[in-house]
Amino acid sequence: MTSPSERHTSHFEVIPESRCKELLAVHTAGRIGWNAPDGPEILPVTYAYHNNEIVFRTSPHGVLSSLERRVRVAFEIDEIYEDVQTGWNVLVRGTARGVTNRYSLTTLWKNGPVPWASGVRNSFIAITPERISGRVVRAAFVD
């Protein structure tokens, strides 16, 4: 992905936004972070990248349902290989909201994210990205 000389001079490599979006499209599980009343929270979710938005399904009674009302969030996907000390991550920062538009809901029930866990999860939350960034990190001794 980079020439050896690039690897010598930088320990992080920026992932271009277009590639970040590709990574968002091919993956299906990530982590959402927000500021809950009792402090920062991080929770894994399964998602779909649909019309440039991150969409996931949750229970209307679960902790994630608090994100229905326009809440600022961070959404992260990554692959970290501890054994070879290398990894990448993509971070989306934006605003979450409940999906209420009937047309969107019909589409999402057909093509949207399917939670792994069972139970009533008929609330769709969408995150509109305001900023997408990504980077690759490798152990310093790779150089």
Among positions 35, 52, 106, 122, the unique one binding its own copies when judged by CB under 8 A: 35
Cβ of residue 99: shortest distance to its own copies, in angstroms?
Answer: 20
Residue 88 and residue 79: Cα distance in Å, rounded?
Answer: 6
122 binds its own copies (CB under 8 A): no
129 CB-near residues (< 8 Å, 6+ apart)? 52, 53, 54, 92, 93, 94
Cβ of residue 100: shortest distance to its own copies, in angstroms?
Answer: 23
Q: Which of 135, 124, 121 lies closest to 53, judged by CA?
A: 124
Among positions 17, 19, 21, 27, the unique one binding its own copies when judged by CB under 8 A: 27
Q: Which is nearer to its own copies, 28 or 65 (CB)?
A: 28
37 binds its own copies (CB under 8 A): no
Residue 49 and residue 52: Cα distance in Å, rounded?
Answer: 6
Contact 124, 55 (CB under 8 A): yes
38 CB-near residues (< 8 Å, 6+ apart)? none
Stretch that binds its own copies, among 16-24, 49-57, 97-105, 110-118 (CB under 8 A): 110-118
Residue 95 and residue 97: Cα distance in Å, rounded?
Answer: 7
Per CB under 8 A, residues contacting its own copies are 11-12, 27-29, 31, 33-35, 38-44, 46, 72-76, 78, 80, 82, 85-87, 89, 91, 93, 115-119, 137-140, 143
